[in-house]
Amino acid sequence: MSAKVVKLCNMDQLADGTSRGFDPLGEGRDTLFIVRRGKVVKAYINSCPHWHGAPMAWRKDAYLTSDKKRIACYGHEAEFDIENGECLSGPCLGQSLTALPIHVSLNNTLYLLLKDLQHKNTLL
Amino acid sequence: MNIIGPDTLVFGVENVNDCEQYLKDYGLEPVGSGVFEALDGTSVIVLAKDDASLPPALESGSMLRKTVYGVADQATLDAIKEELSTDREVSTLPDGSLEACDDQGFCLGFQITIRKQLNLPAETVNSPGAPPQRPLNVIGADPKSNPLPRTLSHVVYFVPDVAKAEAFYVERLGFFCTDRFTGLGPFLRPAGCQDHHTLFMIQTPAFLQGCEHFTFHLAGPTELLQAGTQFSEKGYETFWGPGRHIFGSNWFWYFNSPFGCHVEYDADMDIHDDKWQEREAPVNADTTQIFHFLARDKWFPSGPPPAKK
Ligand code: FES
Ligand SMILES: [Fe+2]
C-alpha cells in the first residue's frame, strides 16, 4: 500500500444517476462507494449507520433506491440524501453516512486520499 | 394444532425485475405468476407492490404482505378457523385457504400444505474414528455442483410488541418456544414441525415492523458455503456470515436484498420435540454465533506475490 492517492475512475465511467463501489484497501469487499448526480459526485464509506459495518448495496454497485433519487441501505430499507448522506427514512433516522472528500483532476479523474479512507474506515 | 410451517411468503415489491432475478440467482425455480419454488414446492411469490391481489400493506410499508402456513389437513384448517373467529375476521378464500391477521397485523394464510415429500441424499463427511460416510474413491468437493434450496425454513419478523406477538402464536396457534434472547424475542416452531424455529421475532419500534429475513434450507454446510460463494460471485452483498448460530445450531449466510429485508442461506438446524426445555440468553456476538467468517474474495492474508516489473 504505497500510493498515497487512490484513483477511482473517470467521471465518464460513472453515468449520471448511478453509483459504484471500490475496494482500494484490498479487503475483498467494497469499503466505499461513489454516487453521481449531474456534476456532483459524492463518496461515502460503505457502512450503514443503523448497523455499523453493515454493507449497503444489494448487489455490486447497487447503492441507490429504484427511482435513483436517494442512497439506500438494502439491509432494512434506510434511505439517505445523496448530497449530504443524511438518513431521511428508516431505522437510523437523523444519523448520517460517513462522507469521504473526493478530488477531481483537470481531466475529470476522481481521486481519494488513502489516509482519509484509512482513517474513516477504522472509525467504524 | 398441526401446523407444519411456512409454505409461501408473498411480497409486494418496488422493483419486480430485480427481485425476480435475485430469487433465480438464489436458486429458486420460477414456475410462473411470480412464484419461485424450492425443491419441495415451498415458495416466495413476487408481485408489484400495487398488485390488486395483495392483502393491504402494513403501515410501516414492509414488502412482506402475507405468510402462508401449510397445515396437515382440513381438520386443522377447521380448528384454526374456529379458534381465530372468536375475536377476528377469518375469511375463506376461493381456493379453500384461510386468511386472517395476527395480533400485530401481519396477514397470515393457512392451507393444506403443498410441501412435497423430499427423498434426497444428505451431505456426507468422513470423520476419523467413525465409519466413512463416503465410500472409497467418492469425491466430496465438486466445484461444478449447483446447490438448490430444498425447503422454506423460517421467517423473522420485526414486531412492536413481542410479548403479545408470541402469545398469539403460542396460545392461539399452538406454537412452542424453543429458545429466547432476553428482551429481544422468541424462537418458535409450530406443533407439526421439529425444526428449532420456523418463526423468530425481534422487538423493534413500530415503524420498523416487517420482515427481517427469510431463508431456505440447503442440504448441509458444504452446500451452504458453496451456494453463498456462488451467490457472492454473482455480485450479491453479504450482510453477515458465513457462520453457525448457537440457538438452532443452523449455519447461516445472510445477504442484502431488494426485498427490504435480508435473505439467508441456512443449513443443518437442530430438531426438537416437546420434551425440550427452552433456553434463554442475552443477545451479543458470543451468544448468536459459535463461529463466524467474513466472506472475502482472497484467501491469502498477505496479498499476491509482487507483480513483475
Ligand atoms: S443495516 Fe442499513 S438499514 Fe439496517
Ligand atoms: Fe435465520
In contact, A24 and A114? CB cutoff 8 Å: yes
pLDDT tens, residue by residue, B27-39: 999 999 999 999 9
In a domain, B125, yes or no: no
pLDDT of residue A8: 94
Q: Are strands B238-244 and A99-100 parallel, antiparallel or unpaired?
A: unpaired
Q: Are strands A109-113 and A5-10 parallel, antiparallel or unpaired?
A: antiparallel
- For domain A5-122, say whether CATH 2.102.10.10 is its number: yes
Nearest alpha carbon to residue B265 among B295, B296, B290: B295
SS3 percent helix, strand, coil of chain A, rounded to 5, is 10, 35, 55
Mean of the per-residue pLDDT values of chain A: 91
In a domain, B124, yes or no: no
Put simply, the answer to whether A60 touches B260 (Cβ < 8 Å) is no
B105: left (phi over 0), alpha (psi -120 to 50) or beta: left
Amino acid identity of residue B24, one-letter, is K
The band of B308, judged by pLDDT with boundaries at 50, 70 and 90, is: low
- The model's pTM is 0.92
Length of chain A (residues) = 124
Percent of chain B with pLDDT over 70: 92
Put simply, the answer to whether B298 touches A28 (Cβ < 8 Å) is yes
Domain of B22? 3-115+150-292
In a domain, B40, yes or no: yes
In a domain, B145, yes or no: no
Put simply, the answer to whether A58 touches B262 (Cβ < 8 Å) is no
For chains A and B, CB pairs below 8 A equal 62
pLDDT tens, residue by residue, A2-44: 458 989 999 999 999 999 999 998 888 899 999 999 888 999 9
Q: Which residues contact A6 (CB under 8 A, 6 or more apart)?
A: A22, A24, A111, A112, A113, A114, A117
For residues B108-133, give the mean pLDDT.
97
pLDDT of residue B73: 98
Mean of the per-residue pLDDT values of chain B: 93
Domain count, chain B: 1
Whether residue B286 has pLDDT greater than 80: no
In a domain, B136, yes or no: no
Distance CA A56, CA B39 (A): 30
Amino acid identity of residue B163, one-letter, is A
Distance CA B90, CA B61 (A): 23
In a domain, B51, yes or no: yes
DSSP label of B208: G
pLDDT of residue A26: 86
DSSP label of B144: T
Nearest alpha carbon to residue A57 among B305, B232, B281: B232
In a domain, B207, yes or no: yes
Least confident piece of the model among A116-120, B166-170, B197-201, B246-250: A116-120
DSSP label of B236: B
- Enumerate residues lining ligand 1, CB below 6 A: A 48, 50-51, 54, 73, 75-76, 78, 90-91
In a domain, B126, yes or no: no
Whether residue B131 has pLDDT greater than 60: yes
> Ligand 1 centroid vs B163 CA: distance in angstroms?
24
> Which residues of chain A are within 8 Å of residue B303 when distances are taken between CB atoms?
26
| B261: CATH | 3.10.180.10
